[in-house]
Amino acid sequence: MAKQKQDEGQAPKLTINDIARMAGVSKKTVSRVINRSPLLNQETRDKVEAIIRETGYVPNPQARALALGRNFLIGLVYDNPNVQMILSMQKGILEALHGTEFELVIRPVDRGSNLVMDDIKSFVTRQRLFGVVILPPMSENDALARMLDEEGCRYVRMGSAVLDDPEHMVASNDREAVADAVRHLIAQGHRRIGLIAGPHGFRSAQERREGFELALTEAGISLPRSLIADGQYTFESGLSASESLLDLSPRPTAIFASNDEMAAGVLYAARLRGIAVPEELSIIGFDDTPVTTRVWPPLTTVRWPIVAMGRAAALKLIGTAIGEGSEVNEPSMFSSTLIRRGSVAPPATS
């Protein structure tokens, strides 16, 4: 009559009671050892720790979570087409979580659906997550932030601009980064510069567009509406958006695409038309994804510190739980750098 717990002859899990019995102390004392309580005799501590090490005892996290009233799960909520970014972000968060008792639970959501809110709500309430990191564009949703506040769930938003209290936000300065990139084009002599913008409603798209316009304005260059094309941050949208730009006469001598995928689309379109890059057309992208070095010529782009930002976001979340008294001092604003590769050259002398 095997007990249902050990149906497959697995080693029965040790409990705190087993350890207490073996050490000849109360379970509370074992609990104190586990939690590094300072008010404990060193001798007792050593004895219990030895037994824990020998037996390989691991406290049951569910019981711990129940008693503590909180668990050690961090959620990552995203709805984003950018695969590279998601994985880099995961990497950064996991780096911060490494060595702590926190684990990362991931949850992609469907922006299209009008159930997103309910979906996320059930995600955080059902698992009673310690906190969540929200990736753009979901992170720009203020209603979501309010809901999380109501639910008492900590959160950190990732974004392209500081939207609220820095305590809840980690952002890159996309506007300035793009302005720098466009200044680079202008310094090379470009005057007719096209923009492939990101999707409407995306904060990052807006910031990058503003950076683009900022650099042109500074240089006293006017920007006809025809030099702006709308994209969706996808390769295909970049490809088709660049058509209208490349049809222009005179043609722009340079194009800034609001992300690398679209920049790759521009490059592809140029090749289809036999336009030489960078001789006849300079291209700059944004994100510094691997594709920029796979294509020919390799794309000049803007690199933002995704991994570092992920790490910062996670530290902000768990910092309050770990740091004893010390204020969490992770930066909230990160800056990006222009990576010069082979897709920019001075314009052909016309």
- For the chain, first and last CA: distance in Å? 91
Compute and round to an integer the Cα radius of gyration of the chain. Answer: 26
12 vs 201, which CB is nearer to a second copy? 12
**Does 291 participate in binding a second copy (rule CB under 8 A)?**
yes
For binding to DNA (CB under 7 A), which residues are involved?
13-17, 24-32, 34-35, 39-41, 43-45, 59-60, 63-64, 66-69
Identify what 90 binds: a second copy, DNA, none; CB under 5 to 8 Å per kind.
a second copy
**Residues 300-339, mask of contacts with a second copy (x by CB under 8 A):** ----------------------------------------
**Does 224 participate in binding a second copy (rule CB under 8 A)?**
no
Least spacing, CB of residue 315 vs a second copy, in Å? 18
Tell which positions 156-215 bind a second copy, by CB under 8 A. Answer: none
Identify what 29 binds: a second copy, DNA, none; CB under 5 to 8 Å per kind.
DNA
* CA angle at 152 for the pair 151 and 157, rounded to the nearest 5°: 95
Instruction: Name which position in 150, 220, 225, 250 contacts a second copy (CB under 8 A).
Output: 150
Residue ranges of E strands in the chain: 73-78, 103-108, 131-134, 154-159, 169-172, 193-197, 228-230, 254-257, 282-284, 301-303, 333-334, 337-339
Q: CA separation (Å) from 329 to 208, 227, 284, 315?
A: 27, 42, 34, 9
Instruction: Compute the distance between CA of residue 281 and CA of residue 348 in angstroms, rounded to an integer.
Output: 8
50 vs 66, which CB is nearer to a second copy? 66
Instruction: Compute the distance between CA of residue 256 and CA of residue 227 in angstroms, rounded to an integer.
Output: 10
* CA angle at 291 for the pair 289 and 295, rounded to the nearest 5°: 145
Least spacing, CB of residue 180 vs a second copy, in Å? 25
Helical H segments across 24-140, by residue range: 27-34, 42-55, 61-68, 83-97, 116-127
Identify what 71 binds: a second copy, DNA, none; CB under 5 to 8 Å per kind.
a second copy
Least spacing, CB of residue 332 vs DNA, in Å? 31
Q: Evaluate the omega torsion of the peptide bond into residue 331 and state whether it is cis, within 30 degrees of 0.
A: no
Least spacing, CB of residue 71 vs DNA, in Å? 12
**Does 112 participate in binding a second copy (rule CB under 8 A)?**
no
5 vs 225, which CB is nearer to a second copy? 5
119 vs 230, which CB is nearer to a second copy? 119
Least spacing, CB of residue 38 vs a second copy, in Å? 20
Instruction: Name which position in 35, 55, 60, 226 contacts a second copy (CB under 8 A).
Output: 60
**Does 115 participate in binding a second copy (rule CB under 8 A)?**
no
Identify what 16 binds: DNA, a second copy, none; CB under 5 to 8 Å per kind.
DNA
Instruction: Name which position in 1, 11, 39, 143 contacts a second copy (CB under 8 A).
Output: 11
Long-range contacts of 144-151 (CB under 8 A, 24+ apart): 144/117, 144/120, 147/117, 147/120, 147/121, 148/124, 151/121, 151/124, 151/125
Enumerate the β-bridge partners of residue 159.
171
